[in-house]
Amino acid sequence: MTDREALHRPFRPTAARWVAGVLALVVLGFMVTLAVILPEIAGEGVGLADRVAIVGFGVLVAWFLARQAGVRADPDQTGLTVRNLLVTRRVEWVEIVSVRFGQGRPWVQLDLADGDTLSVMGVQASDGARADAEAVRLSTLVTLHSATPTDD
């Protein structure tokens, strides 16, 4: 892998991805087990609709946790595609004014040329020193791709 290819690899959290993935499996397994054994514990008052609702809730929680595990930012030559919990947004490199991280921020924030900010949950403070290095790599990409011939 060349240095340029290494710079353009995806940004993905480590700790949050593992925790969310494991929790999704645990919650879903618990809810299915509960739906199966609940009639034996609670008696005849538990119907099929109750059991389906329990499993449905487990699926909903597992889906949310899977979304958390899937947050990322994918850089390429023209911009950055940021997939957060519910929204995916594409920004061009020239739209990114600055990269902010640290000072109590849970993840990287991009300041955009239109005055908006964009959170990048793919770089999370919970990853410690790795997150700091990833924020520097993202800042390097922004600098690399937004430089002009006169560098103004």
pTM of the model: 0.81
Q: What is the DSSP string of 93-106?
A: GGGEEEEE--TT-S
Identify whether residues 54 and 81 lie together within a single domain: no
Whether residues 141 and 78 fall in one domain? yes
Query: What would the pLDDT profile of 38-93 be if each residue is shown by its tens digit?
Result: 888 877 778 889 999 999 999 999 999 999 999 999 999 999 999 999 999 999 99
Give first-to-last CA distance, the chain, whole Å: 31
The reply to whether 80 and 142 lie within a common domain is yes
Half-sphere CA count of 142, side-chain side, radius 13 A: 18
| 124 inside domain | yes
Kindly report the CATH number assigned to the domain that includes residue 75.
Answer: 2.30.29
Q: Identify the domain containing residue 20 by its residue range.
A: 15-69
Average pLDDT of span 30-42: 90
Q: Per residue in 95-140, pLDDT tens?
A: 999 999 988 899 999 999 999 999 999 999 999 999 999 999 999 9
Residues 6+ apart with CB under 8 A from 119: 82, 84, 107, 108, 109, 110
Model confidence at 150: pLDDT above 90 = no
